[in-house]
A and B are shown apart, each in its own frame.
Chain A
């Protein structure tokens, strides 16, 4: 029931379940300028996030000037609510967000793929049960559920990852099941079954490789969401906790002084924006490449 909502049009078509060879996917996607731009943006932000902590002129928790000093005092972008260097905190604040988003996505897509393939392969009551359970899970906004549990148990990072990851699970499972349905009917699966290869090996060895492009597109799509969700929950104060440097938290801590020290909010917001745009452009390119359409290549 919620297919259209959670999946972008590009993702929709990927669900058609065609299975081009994996190695060609990224190369074909890169024929589109958009994908190249997306990849550059993504890599640029990732570089800042992962190398930033080593380039920062100050420690992220060191006090360099009066709180909320304007750009130029204490650092090129001013200081934050406690007089710490905005640039240093920006450089130090992306890493955790990336790591959390990637783990959550891997968890959600991994488990979602497992459930989806299982449902498609076993069919019958198990399929029905899994998909109905998924429907129930989908009948609830992911952020509200995350908000509920994070406020109950507390802003623990493992819980944040679990909530974001499990939020993706039913959505991914649904898409993967669709893609896997056409694969399980194919001859090589029947052949493998007839020579007595265990089912789990068929699932992992035969079915999963044949839906790899769907998985790649799903991963990109879910990664974009994960980044937004993790940063958003941090922004609500339910992610990283002070005094940690974190982009979402920076926005929350400093937005009170938007007029006098705008960079402390603008830098993390722009970085998150560029990153999500980048990952989404790549995902879009992958999706278009995976259906072999040349629509995306012309631009």
Chain B
């Protein structure tokens, strides 16, 4: 098992390297000139030349790439071309904000989904089960921005006026300072990730409930509550954990469009802003950060799967 994990980690690193290559080549091909884009209409030839020199936009591509990769590995993500501030300090707070958003969504979605999944499994073929089945199927179909806009129409502007439709972060405050603003983005993400977990949880739980040891526990005369909580649930969580981890990985992709919709100051929003500003170092850093997160969560999913699978566990 350890060898398998080692191979997975190596593969993850290889993936990140490929991503770095793609990102670098892609961003170098951005139309327009970073110095021009920064100065905008204030650009004069003299000011342009001065800025280009300051930004080190010269050099051959491989030179720029290896220099950049070296800096990346030493966690020196460079200086934002636009702001002149270190990229780390520009990306850092956004990463924190996005993490909070995703954490809120995960903390609500996971227990909720496991609960609903278990509950519907126990009431298989009841009306509740069917209704939940339809609702999760419908929610799973909807693109996240559609869920978001529908929530805004329903809860912010159209029918009810309960929560703000966009996120306004007054500088100096933290994203959690005004929790009402967090409701809609978090709810959108919860509705986007829960259906999958609910469906997997229900299916897994059904399988576990049919299994021999659960039957035996029942035959022993244990109360149904104990059977479910002590015997069935722990055995069902293993396979579901992988889906949960994968959903978390999905979150960071989905968070881009949700952040844009609600104007939430996170990595996704910043990515779109940086691309508009031609801020290459920030674009590169953000994409790499997203890739690292993605690879790490996927790796976690592998670990969980391996740990939950006795065959693999004992094979090593």
Interface residue B82 (Cβ < 8 Å from any Cβ of A): no
Known A8-B199, A299-B130: A269·B150 in contact at CB below 8 Å: yes
Find chain A residues with CB under 8 A from B167 CB.
none
Give A1-14 as 1s and 0s: 1 = Cβ < 8 Å from B's Cβ atoms: 11011001100000
Q: Give the size category of A's interface with B.
A: 35 or more
Mark out the residues of chain A between 133 and 169 whose CB falls within 8 Å of any chain B CB in the assembled complex.
135-136, 139-144, 147-149, 151-154
Interface residue B153 (Cβ < 8 Å from any Cβ of A): yes
Bound: A273/B150 CA distance, A: 9
- Tell me which of B145, B152, B153, B302 has the highest count of chain A C-beta atoms within 10 A of its own C-beta: B145
B271–A144 contact, CB under 8 A?
yes
Bound: A293/B250 CA distance, A: 29
Bound: A269/B145 CA distance, A: 9
Q: Closest approach, in angstroms, between the C-beta of A135 and any C-beta of chain B?
A: 7
Mark out the residues of chain A between 105 and 142 whose CB falls within 8 Å of any chain B CB in the assembled complex.
132, 135-136, 139-142
Find chain B residues with CB under 8 A from A143 CB.
253-254, 256-257
A142–B253 contact, CB under 8 A?
yes
Give B240-272 as 1s and 0s: 1 = Cβ < 8 Å from A's Cβ atoms: 001100110110111011001100000000011
B145–A1 contact, CB under 8 A?
no
A5–B250 contact, CB under 8 A?
yes
Bound: A135/B260 CA distance, A: 28
Q: How many A-B residue pairs have CB under 8 A?
A: 152
A2–B298 contact, CB under 8 A?
yes
Find chain A residues with CB under 8 A from B8 CB.
1
Give A250-282 as 1s and 0s: 1 = Cβ < 8 Å from B's Cβ atoms: 010001001100100110011011001101110
A148–B153 contact, CB under 8 A?
no
B153–A266 contact, CB under 8 A?
yes
A139–B294 contact, CB under 8 A?
yes
Mark out the residues of chain A between 211 and 261 whose CB falls within 8 Å of any chain B CB in the assembled complex.
224, 227-229, 231-232, 235-236, 251, 255, 258-259
Q: Give the size category of B's interface with A.
A: 35 or more
Find chain B residues with CB under 8 A from A255 CB.
149, 152
Find chain B residues with CB under 8 A from A154 CB.
31
Q: Indicate which residue in B142, B152, B257, B291 contacts A258 across the interface (CB closer than 8 Å).
A: B152
B137–A281 contact, CB under 8 A?
yes
Flag the segment in B13-21, B38-46, B58-66, B105-113 that touches A: B13-21
Q: Indicate which residue in A136, A236, A265 contacts B257 across the interface (CB closer than 8 Å).
A: A236
Q: Closest approach, in angstroms, between the C-beta of A60 and any C-beta of chain B?
A: 21
Nearest A residue (CB) for B243: A4
Q: Indicate which residue in B133, B203, B283, B301 contacts A1 across the interface (CB closer than 8 Å).
A: B301
B153–A265 contact, CB under 8 A?
yes
Bound: A122/B174 CA distance, A: 56
Q: Closest approach, in angstroms, between the C-beta of B184 and any C-beta of chain A?
A: 13
Find chain A residues with CB under 8 A from B11 CB.
132, 135
Closest 7 CB pairs of A and B: A141-B253, A228-B143, A280-B141, A5-B246, A151-B275, A139-B15, A276-B141
Return 23 A-B CB contacts under 8 Å, by A number.
A5-B246, A8-B199, A9-B196, A9-B199, A9-B200, A34-B134, A132-B11, A141-B249, A141-B254, A144-B256, A147-B275, A148-B23, A152-B27, A227-B143, A231-B146, A232-B144, A232-B257, A235-B145, A235-B257, A262-B153, A272-B143, A273-B141, A280-B140
